[in-house]
Structure formats: C-alpha cells, structure tokens
A and B are shown apart, each in its own frame.
Chain A
Amino acid sequence: MNTEPRLRLEGVTRRFPGVVANDDVNLAVEAGEIHALLGENGAGKSTLVKFIYGVQSADSGTLFWEGTPQRIANPKAARRLGIAMVFQHFSLFDAMTVAENVALGLPRSFARSGLEERIHDVSRRYGLPLDPGRHVHALSVGERQRIEVVRCLLQEPRLLIMDEPTSVLTPQEVESLFATLRQLSQDGVSILYISHKLQEIRDLCHKATIMRGGRVVAECDPATRSAHELAELMIGTDLSLPRRTSVAGGASPRLEVRHLALESSRLHGTPLKDISFEVLAGEVLGIAGIAGNGQQELMDALSGETPLADHHTILADGRPVGASGPNRRRASGMVFVPEERLGHGAVPQMTLWENALLSGATTSRLVNRGMIRSARAREFAATVVRDFDVRTPGVMQPASSLSGGNLQKFIIGREISHNPGIIIALQPTWGVDAGSAAAVRQALIDLAADGAAVLVISQDLEELMEISDRLCVISQGRLSPPMRTKYATASRIGLLMAGS
C-alpha cells in the first residue's frame, strides 16, 4: 500500500519582478481527494497550478508524484504522469469541431480512429452529453466546458486540476458537474479544485488549502468552517458585507425600456425579443442569466453602441434616447461599465488620466473647445484613484499595468465621478479579486442610495442576490418579469435561466 500522497509540493517558490508569486508553498493531495485551493486573485493559485501542470517553472521547490520527485518540464510531461487540467479560459478552438478539439489535447496514440466512440462512452458514463461533430462556436459555455472535461477524462487522469470551473455555469449545470466530480473522486481520481466561491467549496471539497499573498495561510476541512470564516482566512481582514439601504417606496422610474427588440450584429449573437423594464430612482435592478443569452446585445442597445430605430424605446429620466449614440446618452446622465475592461472599458496602452478623459470629455468638462485640459483631467483621475482606493503608482500609469480588480475600481470610479443619474454595468466584478469586488458592489449600492438608478447585468447570482432590490432573468433574448430579491430562490432563478 502506498502511503505517500498522490501529489506533494515542498517549498515551491516563484518570484516575478516585484512580487513573490509563490513563497515556500507546501501542499499534499491524497488519492481520491477533492482538494480546494482557495484564495483571492493574485494569491498565487494560478502560478502554483501552472507549475504543477508544467506550463511554468519554479525558482525552487520539489514536486513529488506518488512519492517520487519529478521535474515536469511541459504539459505533455504532466499528462504522461496522469495530470490533466481544465482551464478557466477554455483552451478551445472555435472554428473546429468537438472531436478535433478533443484530439488536439490528447497524446498521439489516443487520437487514432474510434475517438468519436470513446467521446460518446465517456460522456455517457459521467453524464456529460456532447456531440463530437459540432463546431465549438455554436456551443454554450457549459457545453464548452464539457469538452475540456471530456478531453481530460479520456486520458484517465489520476489528478484533475480545475481552475474556477463554475464561474460560467447555471446552478443546475453546477450540480451536474459536482455529481461528475464526486463520481471521479470515488473512482480514485484526485481533484485539485481552484475557486473563490466558498459555498461550493464547502459542499464539494474534502480539504482546503487557503493561500494569501503567495503563501499558504491555512489548511482545513471546509465543511467544518462557515463561509464567513473561510472568506476571512482568504482575505486576511474582517470582511464586511455590503451595507444595504432600503428603497423609498413610490420612487419614480429613471430608466425605462419599452418593447426593445433587436437583431444581433454579432457572430452567433442572440436577438433581443420584446424587452421591457424600468429601473427606479434609488434602486439596484439585477439581470441574471447565463452568458450568451443576449446580455451583450442588451448592453449594446442600452449604451447606444447599437442605436435603435425607435427613439422612444429607451427613456432616460423621461427623455427619449433610443436612437442616440453613447455621447448623447452620457449627456442625459447615463454612464456605462462594459464587460471587457481592457479594450472596451479602457484603452490598455493609454494612461489612467487619458482613459478618464475618454469617457468624461464632455460630462466633466475635461475638454475646452477641442483642447485637452490635461491638468484638470489629471486631477480628475487622481481624485478617482484616491476615492476608490485604486492601487497604482500614479495616474501616468498605462491602464494595462493595473490588475483586473484595480482597473475595474478605476473604471467604476471614473463613471461614478461623473455624478450619473443612471449607471449600467455588465459583469462589474468578473475576474476581480474579492476585496475589489466588495468595493465595487458597495460603490454601486451607495450610488443607488444617492438616488441614481443602477442596472447590473451579471452571471454571478450570489452577487445579484447581495446587491439588487429586484431581479430579472434574461434567457434566449427574453427578459422575465422582475421579482423582489428577497423572494427569489436559486432554484427558481436557475429554472428561468434554463429558459423554462
């Protein structure tokens, strides 16, 4: 009987210029164990996992595989040992079929004939329905993840690494993924499960290793700790939930959308069908839904990037803006926080103050008769940096140099500093560390408390439950009627998300 753990790391250290991403990390994963690796963005989880999977080397430290020290030079070597990984950002090829995608991730000997049958076998055995002949670009996010999982399972791995696997799934899809993982664990497969969703870890994992600032700060049995305890271990300070203020009754609508229908201009986009809703003054309205159900299109229509034919489809404080572009809408007191931070919300190569100028040129008078008032713009950006706790050496830094969380705080802060009447945010905390996410949510709630109308479109249900007063679900381009968040349950919303 082998008493050594399946995987053991000893003293793994990796330095990058300016930061120690992994500092003397020890970790042991037993056979058949579902082991959580918990930590904020930037805690060093990804660096550690990349080391295990052979994508990145470490400066020092040893990896023991079933008791023997190993050097894993590249992912191929990792796969030979029996280590497989499902990436957070799927390593899939859109223009290729499911079978081709699977074949690409397998060693040569696996990819011979009969692959399609084996895909069928594995997908039946673990409840992961997949059609090998379909093209990836036509699949939902959940189906795409299944390709990754099936690709890993075909190699009969003994350690499966999953990097934030549930961030894009519906509650039902999460349940079926967990069933698969539990079955794998019973079959003796070890699973290293990376996440910052505490409830999931408590439900699923046998053991948790918590990282902060590149170090392991705790090891525990997650089922015996409360989510709040885990969160405090992860963040290292007392975590305060967003403070809520209740909406005054009888408030008037500030944003009204009436019978919005729109063909999608995107490749494989979702057309919007007869969407109507209103957001009241002082209210946070949440729109939940799985990616690709029309959120992008709705954002395009609301922000004016796709102007509408009928001017009266969208009313901002009673004024029709449906046919206006983004600048006219901004002039009516609307501001927007798009999903992509780099390239949409901010220009990566430009400095922070230039980025502040881009959205605030007219509303905050940073431009005078075509000439940039750079001193004023810098001051404006510096105020945003100070007020919203953006960690950066200064406003002369390019936007791309900020971490996801800091840049998002800057973008949200920039928009809020324009004193908007209406703010519309798509996925405001996507890929943002927990501390920054809490700050962003608090900022949105505070803005509503000041009487603004806040619309948040997000896939993160926990987030919407936390901040919104009312909740709608978007599914296949249709919007459900709103419900009071306190009466909404995860299962009810999950059913709406799945389109029933």
Chain B
Amino acid sequence: MTIDFLVAALMTIITASTPLVFAAVGEIVAERSGVLNLGVEGMMIVGAIGAFATGIITGDPVLAVLAGAASGALMAFIFGCLTLWLLSNQVATGLALTIFGIGLSALLGHQFVGVTLAGLPRLDIPGITDLPFIGPLLFGHDALVYLSVVSVIAVAWFLRHTRAGLALRAVGENHDAAHSIGYPVILIRLLAVLFGGAMAGLGGACLSLAYTPLWIENMTAGRGWIALALVVFASWRPWRAFFGAYLFGGITIIQLHAQGLGVAIPSQILSMLPYIATIVVLVLISRDDVRMRFNAPACLGRSFHATG
C-alpha cells in the first residue's frame, strides 16, 4: 500500500522532471558556447504543439517526438539568425522569442483543444517490469525518459572529453581568442543554439505527449524559466542540472500530493514552492561572487563581431 503509493509518486516525479532535464541540458550547451537564450519557454511550447499536432495527424509517436525537436530547433534558428548574424541583443531577443512562441503555439493549437492523444508507449519488459518497486521504476517509462538520461551522459562526455566540446567551451570562454586561433565562432554558436532549441522542443514534447497527453494553451506553465534557473543552479554542469531537475520536479509533485492528502495549506502557497525554491537557491549560490564568475562562461550574453 505505502510502497504502491511511493512508486506512483516517484513515477510522476520522473515524468515531471524529464522535460526540465531536456530543456536545462540543452540550454547548458547553448550557454557554454556563450549564447544566453532566454527563449527556452517559447521553444518548449512550440515543441509541445509541434509534437502534439504531428502525433494527432500522423498517429506516429516517433514522428511526433522528432517534430517536437524540429519545432524547437526552428525557433532556435530564428533566435540564432537574429543574435549571431544580425547582432541583436540576446536578452531582448530571447524574451521576444518566448512571447512569440506562446502566441504562435496558441494559434496553431486552437484546433487541437480538447483532443486527446494515446500518449507514448511505455517500455514494459514482461516479467521484469512486474518486479516489485524496482521494476516499474527502472523499466516502466516511455522512451523519452531514457533518452533524457542518455542525453545528460552524452552532453557531459561531449563537453569534457571531445575536441569539439573543448572548442565549444573555448568559444564561450573567450570568443576573440577562439577567433584568432581560427575557430568559426558564429557557426559553433549557431550549432549550440540549435541543439539547445531541439532539446527544449523535446522537453515540450514530453509535456504534450507523455505528462498530460493533450493540448492546453500555455501548458509549459513557466517550466522554461525553471530550466533557465536550473542552468545557473547547476553552475553550467550537466549532471548537476539533472539532479536539480529532479529536485524541482520532486517539489512540484510533492506539492500536488500534499494537496491530495488535504494538508491544510492553501494550494496557491504550495504551487509557489518551486518558484520560491528557485529564488532561494539562486540567492544562495550567487552569494559567492568569485565562484559565480569562475563558473559562468566568460563571454555569456556577449555578441561576437569579428573585427579585423
């Protein structure tokens, strides 16, 4: 009875955290290359509607997931063109991208309101998934959950151990030096931004295909902003972002369960918890000025223009 409850709670925590993992890890890659893309929320929600619409029209879950990633990447491409080639301000462009994404998704999603989707199939290995406790927790998820874990491992390894990852970090650390050595700063940044967009789109796809398999306007509900906070919270490291995402996902779910159990706290206060936690954590880690400066990519948010 309690074990069943625990398993159910943990399962929902995993489902709630996965979109955050995708979005945060994608943004880490973009920010490590020196681009501050505040449009995560917008890319997520466009990814969500892209995935949902494709799922309804084609009925193919794989196509739906790919469409989610592609929609996010397309949004990121707009952002990349504006900030990297046309040198627009990254902060303002990112905010505009979010507002644009929310509007665009509402427009596209209008005809899908109220339609439900079957949701993504779960892994379910007969015999193993039925094991008590460990079975459903390890083998009872949809493919996106596993993909999110793989992506964390891959990104961490890429940033640390590959030459391309080294170049990406170099561009984010000192773009003038990287340029003078001969690295294509704009191209590297564009690729990083596209990757970030695709990951945010996948995060959105998690929401509309798995978490609540239907379309609701503005269904990301601020998760893009939490993902952005997570990047700083994790001091730009993929594994820390992964655990941070689960922490935040956990708070969201515990809040729901607490409401279900009738804890005598107004539900609004509980709904605020993840956001308050974000602020508290950001304040705490920002106190050490020196560490912050050392962890953050030194060229974050700065436009690059090749002079000479």
Report A's interface with B, CB cutoff 8 A: 47, 50, 54-56, 74-76, 79, 87, 90-96, 100, 103-105, 108, 111, 137, 267
Contacts and interface: CB of A to CB of B under 8 A. Distances in A.
B12 interface: no
Contact of B177 (A54, A56, A90, A103): A90
Contacts of B176: 91
Given A75-B182, A108-B163, 9 more contacts: A56-B308, A91-B176, A91-B180, A91-B181, A92-B177, A93-B169, A93-B174, A96-B166, A267-B293
B170 A104 contact: yes
Given A55-B308, A267-B290, A76 B174 contact: no
A95 B173 contact: yes
29 contacts: A47-B308, A50-B308, A55-B180, A75-B182, A76-B182, A79-B182, A87-B180, A90-B177, A91-B174, A91-B176, A91-B178, A91-B180, A91-B181, A93-B170, A93-B173, A95-B169, A96-B166, A96-B170, A96-B173, A103-B163, A103-B166, A104-B166, A104-B167, A104-B170, A104-B178, A105-B181, A111-B163, A137-B294, A267-B294
A48 to B, nearest CB: 12
Contacts of A79: 182
Interface of B: 163, 166-167, 169-170, 173-174, 176-178, 180-183, 290, 293-294, 298, 308
B182 to A, nearest CB: 4
Nearest to A266: B290
Nearest to B290: A267
A104 B290 contact: no
Contacts of B183: 104
Contacts of A105: 181
A96 B177 CA distance: 13
Contacts of A54: 182
A75 B181 contact: yes
Contacts of A75: 180-182
A267 B167 CA distance: 25
Nearest to B291: A267
A100 B167 CA distance: 10
For B163, B182, B290, the residue with the greatest tally of chain A CB atoms inside 10 Å of its CB is B182
A377 B70 CA distance: 57
B174 to A, nearest CB: 5
Contacts of A95: 169, 173, 294, 298
Contacts of B290: 267
B231 to A, nearest CB: 16
Contacts of B181: 75, 91, 104-105
Nearest to A268: B290
A423 B265 CA distance: 64
Contacts of A100: 166
- CB-based closest 10 A-B pairs: A91-B177, A75-B182, A93-B173, A76-B182, A91-B180, A105-B181, A56-B308, A267-B290, A104-B170, A93-B174
Nearest to A93: B173
A105 B294 CA distance: 22
Contacts of B170: 93, 96, 104
B293 to A, nearest CB: 6
A18 to B, nearest CB: 15
Contacts of B173: 93-96
Contacts of B182: 54, 74-76, 79
B168 to A, nearest CB: 11
Contacts of B167: 104
Contacts of B178: 91, 93, 104
Nearest to A56: B308
Contacts of A50: 308
A56 B181 CA distance: 13
B252 to A, nearest CB: 33
Contacts of A108: 163
Contacts of A91: 174, 176-178, 180-181
A47 B182 CA distance: 17
A137 B163 CA distance: 21
Nearest to A95: B173
B293 A94 contact: no
Contacts of A47: 308
Contacts of B174: 91-94
A93 B177 contact: yes
B180 A96 contact: no
A96 B176 CA distance: 16
Contact of A94 (B180, B298, B308): B298
Contacts of A90: 177
B300 to A, nearest CB: 12
Contacts of B308: 47, 50, 55-56
Nearest to B169: A96
A267 B295 CA distance: 12
A300 to B, nearest CB: 16
A421 to B, nearest CB: 36
A71 B127 CA distance: 67
A93 B166 CA distance: 11
A193 B290 CA distance: 37
A214 B180 CA distance: 22
Contacts of B294: 95, 137, 267
Nearest to A90: B177
Nearest to B174: A93
A105 B163 CA distance: 11
Contacts of B180: 55, 75, 87, 91
A108 B178 CA distance: 15
Nearest to A267: B290
Contacts of A76: 182
B148 to A, nearest CB: 27
B271 to A, nearest CB: 38
